[in-house]
């Protein structure tokens, strides 16, 4: 597709060259390219009807008020720059291991900046002839990465993972209500099926019905009788099952879509923070017994707090088994966080690799260090089974290393589009599909610059082992090393007192949760207090982070979200079970290791040494009070 002779699938990227870098290592390239792009735009304006007179003469530019206004603009921007420098988080540095942030790609940042002055709006093709195409292309690239057929699937950019999840559930809701609407208008098409069967048609069968209804020229009429038209008041569309480790965006989704949070059912997680598939099965059985339909099931790939990867393959298997029994549900993967990691499993032809061959390549090519034992078989199988889902949320602004705000949702079967599509006379003309994005998505106006940023990133960095796989590999290596270092660390002394540190669990992905405790302390509240104070000293709470040596985030793991999963972790830190049973929550530090710099031995060792020293100093400060 590209302009230049380059082969996206075999060229390998050098990850070092992709970021501005913690010491602005690539500042020369960055600045030169930015200036070139700006000059291109400036001249583009001048070349549009070159003989048109300027709107502002040089004489007018000499007026005092004119100069005052420019000065005022500059002052405001300097004030902004000052504010940004005072309190912004140094995502770029390996000293920041907190939220899902890191340096972002030069390709993405420069593409965004190059596009901003053209200001395309991807709501309508007419307002974005260049960038709507880039969004469609980026959507197809995501389809392929996530295991869907790019010609049958559909993907687009959203403002974030929240909106992507909303859109998937919106589809699920309207889809679930469609067969009953067919019964009302074209009963012959669903002859012999009772209401329960209609509420349990597999997704593909509902979409076949959509085709038949269209062929009978009754689509608008039927669609108006689905949840879209009649609202959520008529039918009981059932319950949405999500892992207990749930992200709050699902509760918002259930609320917003009129499903109600009462119909959002949490399924218990196991000790490894993955949804317990046996409990999922029991939950489904319980609802079926009361003739409550299952509207949808969500698997999370990369939970926000632990990076746990739900067993997608097991859930897919379960879905297939239920379908044989006449029970069906919509299956969505929330891969907002972990979705991009599928790139590391794909060879240069975007084929999912055999485990053994894959690991061999990773080690040979330095993508993941030999000393790292990853992935667990269930994580491997989970990523492999992505293609079994009906839709997937994936955020370019997380593991895509693209700046905010860039989420995405990808659907396996593009026929779902008409369940949620709308047309406005002035923007859309039927038939021009699929270039009229605003009519097929939850949002309307949207920055073409975001699409340009995502597209440019995908062009430079193929979504497989040659490109993104190499960034992901660095992140995984850094995280797993951090986990191993924490696990191996013996008790250490601060001011004559001994302390230990322990990681929560071996990460499925790249989040490492951990906690410190004083040796001999058996009081959970005291342990929490220590870690809370450590967080305070490692965050904006103790003053400007720019002056901080090490910055992290934190979370609380409580029984309402995790059952007794954290009990064994607390035990390793020397806290008796009674304490856990009483308090039912534990405070942990949380490091998302997105940094691409912790793969080099020298860099890793430097930062691990620094980390230990800093944490000991911080404990020293806390103890002194």
Among 262, 430, 490, 496, binds a second copy (CB under 8 A): 262
Of 249, 371, 360, 306, nearest to 505 by C-alpha is 306
Report the nearest approach of a second copy to the CB of residue 620 (Å): 20
Farthest CA pair distance, the chain? 83
Could you say whether residue 364 binds a second copy (CB under 8 A)? no
Rounded least distance, CB 25 to a second copy, Å: 4
Select which of 273, 330, 404, 426 is catalytic.
Answer: 426
Up-side HSE of residue 281: CA atoms within 13 Å toward CB? 12
Q: How far is the CB of 456 from a second copy (least distance, A)?
A: 5
Whole-number Å distance between alpha carbons of 336 and 408: 8
Residue of the chain from 199, 254, 465, 524 that contacts a second copy (CB under 8 A): 254
Instruction: Say how far apart CA 595 and CA 80 lie, in whole Å.
Output: 26
- Give the binding range for a second copy (CB under 8 A) out of 203-211, 319-327, 417-425, 514-522: 417-425
462 CA to centre of own chain: 18
Which CB atom, from 294 or from 385, has the smaller least distance to a second copy?
294
What's the burial of 506, exposed, middle or buried (CB within 10 Å: 0-12/13-18/19+)?
middle
Select 204 or 585, whichever has its Cβ closest to a second copy. 585
Residues of span 551-570 touching a second copy by CB under 8 A: 553-556, 558, 561
Give me the phi and psi of 467, to 5 degrees please: -125, -100
Beta-strand runs (E) in 485-525: 492-494, 497-503, 511-518
Structure tokens, 285: 């059985």
Asked if 247 is part of the footprint of a second copy (rule: CB under 8 A), the reply reads yes
> Which residue in 191, 192, 248, 490 binds a second copy (CB under 8 A)?
248
From candidates 255, 285, 354, 581, binder to a second copy by CB under 8 A:
255
Distance between CA atoms of residues 196 and 192, nearest Å = 11
Is 269 near a second copy (CB under 8 A)?
no
Q: Is 10 in the site for a second copy (CB under 8 A)?
A: no
For residue 23, the minimal CB distance to a second copy (Å) is 4
> What is the SS3 assignment for 297?
strand
Report the residue from 46, 370, 526, 577 that binds a second copy according to the rule CB under 8 A: 46
Is the peptide bond prior to 375 cis by the omega test (within 30 degrees of 0)?
Answer: yes
Contact 161, 393 (CB under 8 A): yes
Select the residue interacting with a second copy from 9, 10, 85, 493 (CB under 8 A): 85
Q: Does 116 bind a second copy (CB under 8 A)?
A: yes
Please check whether residue 322 is in contact with residue 168, taking contact to mean a CB–CB distance below 8 angstroms.
Answer: no
Of positions 9, 10, 40, 371, contacts a second copy by CB under 8 A? 40
Does position 452 bind a second copy by CB under 8 A? Answer: yes
One character per residue 298-337, x = contact with a second copy (rule: CB under 8 A): ------xx--------------------------------
- Among 295, 273, 272, smallest CA distance to 284 is for 295
| Distance from C-alpha of 580 to C-alpha of 562, rounded to nearest angstrom | 12
Q: Which residue has the tokens 């090393």?
A: 481
Segment holding 534, helix H or strand E: helix 524-537
Q: Is the Cβ–Cβ distance between 459 and 8 less than 8 Å?
A: yes
The reply to whether 70 sits near a second copy by the rule CB under 8 A is yes
How far is 488 from 105, CA to CA, in rounded Å? 33
Contacts of 608 (CB under 8 A, 6+ apart): 481, 482, 485
Which of 152, 196, 215, 224 forms a contact with a second copy (CB under 8 A)? 224
Question: Binding of a second copy at residue 491 (CB under 8 A)?
Answer: no
Asked whether 152 and 315 are in contact (CB, 8 A), the reply is no
Region from 184-192, 223-231, 267-275, 347-355 binding a second copy, contact rule CB under 8 A: 223-231
**Exactly one of 97, 121, 309, 500 binds a second copy (CB under 8 A); which one?**
121
Query: Among positive and negative, which fits the CA dihedral 276, 282, 288, 290?
Result: negative
Phi-psi region of 194 (alpha: psi -120 to 50; beta: other; left: phi over 0): beta
Is 139 one of the binding residues for a second copy (CB under 8 A)? no
Region of 41-49, 194-202, 207-215, 571-579 interacting with a second copy (CB under 8 A): 41-49
Within 594-623, which residues bind a second copy (CB under 8 A)? 597, 600, 602-603, 606
Total count of residues recorded for the chain? 625
Using CB under 8 A, count the residues that bind a second copy. Answer: 182
* Spatial separation of the C-alpha atoms in residues 557 and 532, rounded to whole Å: 13
Q: Which stretch binds a second copy (CB under 8 A): 102-110, 180-188, 523-531, 569-577?
A: 102-110
Q: How far is the CB of 369 from a second copy (least distance, A)?
A: 17
Selected range binding a second copy among 125-133, 193-201, 326-334, 482-490, rule: CB under 8 A: 125-133
Q: Which of residues 162-201 bind a second copy (CB under 8 A)?
A: 162-163, 166, 170, 173-174
Choose, by CB under 8 A, the member of 138, 199, 202, 229 that binds a second copy. Answer: 229
On whether the CB atoms of residues 225 and 181 are closer than 8 A, the answer is yes
Backbone angles phi, psi at 189, to 5 degrees: -70, -20
- Which region among 272-280, 290-298, 318-326, 455-463 touches a second copy (by CB under 8 A)? 455-463
Beta bridge partners of 588: 555
Q: Does 367 bind a second copy (CB under 8 A)?
A: no
Q: For a second copy, what does the binding mask look like between residues 519 and 548, x meaning CB under 8 A?
A: --------------------xx----xx--
| Known active-site residue 426 | yes
268 forms part of the interface with a second copy (CB under 8 A): no
* Binder of a second copy out of 9, 10, 72, 543 (CB under 8 A): 72
Residue closer to a second copy by CB (options 126, 523) is 126
Q: Nearer to a second copy by C-beta: 147 or 596?
A: 596
From candidates 277, 447, 586, 619, binder to a second copy by CB under 8 A:
447
If one asks whether residue 52 binds a second copy (CB under 8 A), the answer comes out as yes
CB 345 within 8 A of CB 383: yes
DSSP class of residue 197 equals: H
Query: Does 134 sit near a second copy (CB under 8 A)?
Result: yes
- 3-state SS assignment for residue 96: strand
As annotated, the active-site residues are 426
């Amino acid at each position: 597709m590209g302009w230049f002779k380059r082969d996206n699938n075999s060229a390998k990227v050098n990850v070092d060259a992709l970021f501005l870098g913690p010491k602005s290592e690539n500042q020369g390239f960055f600045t030169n390219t930015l200036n070139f792009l700006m000059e291109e735009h400036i001249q583009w304006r001048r070349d549009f009807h070159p003989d048109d007179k300027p709107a502002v003469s040089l004489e007018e530019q000499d007026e005092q008020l004119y100069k005052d206004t420019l000065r005022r603009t500059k002052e405001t921007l300097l004030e902004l720059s000052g504010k940004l420098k005072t309190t912004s988080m140094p995502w770029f540095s390996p000293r920041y291991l907190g939220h899902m942030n890191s340096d972002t790609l030069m390709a993405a940042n420069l593409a965004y900046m190059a596009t901003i002055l053209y200001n395309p709006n991807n709501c309508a093709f007419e307002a974005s002839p260049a960038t709507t195409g880039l969004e469609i292309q980026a959507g197809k690239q995501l389809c392929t990465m996530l295991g869907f057929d790019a010609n049958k699937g559909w993907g687009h950019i959203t403002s974030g993972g929240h909106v992507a999840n909303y859109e998937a559930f919106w589809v699920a809701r309207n889809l679930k209500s469609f067969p009953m609407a067919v019964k009302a208008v074209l009963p012959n098409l669903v002859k012999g099926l009772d209401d329960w069967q209609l509420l349990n048609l597999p997704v593909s069968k509902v979409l076949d019905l959509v085709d038949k209804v269209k062929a009978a020229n009754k689509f608008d009429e039927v669609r108006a009788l689905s949840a879209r038209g009649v609202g959520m008041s008529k039918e009981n569309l059932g319950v949405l099952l999500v892992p207990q480790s749930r992200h709050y965006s699902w509760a918002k989704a259930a609320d917003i879509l009129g499903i109600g949070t009462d119909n959002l059912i949490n399924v218990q997680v196991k000790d490894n923070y993955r949804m317990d598939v046996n409990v999922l099965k029991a939950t489904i059985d319980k609802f079926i017994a009361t003739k409550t339909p299952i509207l949808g099931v969500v698997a999370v790939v990369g939970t926000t707090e632990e990076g746990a990867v739900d067993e997608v393959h097991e859930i897919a298997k379960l879905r297939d088994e239920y379908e044989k029994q006449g029970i069906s549900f919509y299956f969505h993967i929330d891969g907002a966080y972990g979705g991009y990691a599928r790139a590391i499993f794909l060879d240069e032809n975007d084929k999912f690799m055999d485990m053994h061959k894959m690991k061999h390549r990773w080690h040979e090519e330095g993508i993941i260090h030999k000393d790292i034992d990853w992935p667990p078989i269930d994580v491997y199988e989970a990523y492999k089974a992505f293609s079994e889902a009906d839709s997937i949320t994936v955020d370019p602004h997380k593991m895509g290393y693209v700046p905010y705000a860039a989420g995405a949702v990808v659907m396996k079967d593009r026929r779902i589009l008409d369940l949620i599509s709308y047309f406005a006379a002035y923007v859309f003309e039927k038939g021009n599909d699929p270039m009229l994005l605003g009519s097929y998505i939850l949002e309307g106006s949207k920055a073409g610059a975001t699409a340009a940023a995502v597209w440019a990133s995908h062009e430079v960095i193929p979504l497989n082992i040659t490109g993104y796989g190499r960034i992901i590999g660095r992140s995984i290596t850094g995280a797993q090393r951090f986990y191993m270092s924490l696990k191996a660390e013996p008790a250490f002394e601060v001011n004559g007192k001994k302390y230990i540190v322990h990681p929560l669990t071996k990460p499925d992905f790249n989040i490492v949760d951990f906690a410190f405790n004083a040796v001999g302390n058996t009081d959970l509240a005291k342990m929490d207090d220590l870690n809370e104070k450590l967080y305070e000293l490692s965050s904006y709470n103790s003053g400007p982070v720019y002056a901080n040596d090490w910055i992290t985030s934190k979370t609380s793991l409580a029984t309402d979200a995790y059952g007794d999963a954290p009990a064994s972790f607390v035990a390793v830190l020397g806290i008796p079970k009674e304490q856990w049973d009483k308090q039912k929550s534990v405070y942990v530090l949380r490091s998302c290791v997105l940094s691409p710099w912790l793969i080099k031995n020298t860099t890793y060792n430097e930062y691990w040494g620094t980390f230990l020293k800093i944490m000991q100093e911080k404990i020293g400060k806390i103890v002194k009070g």
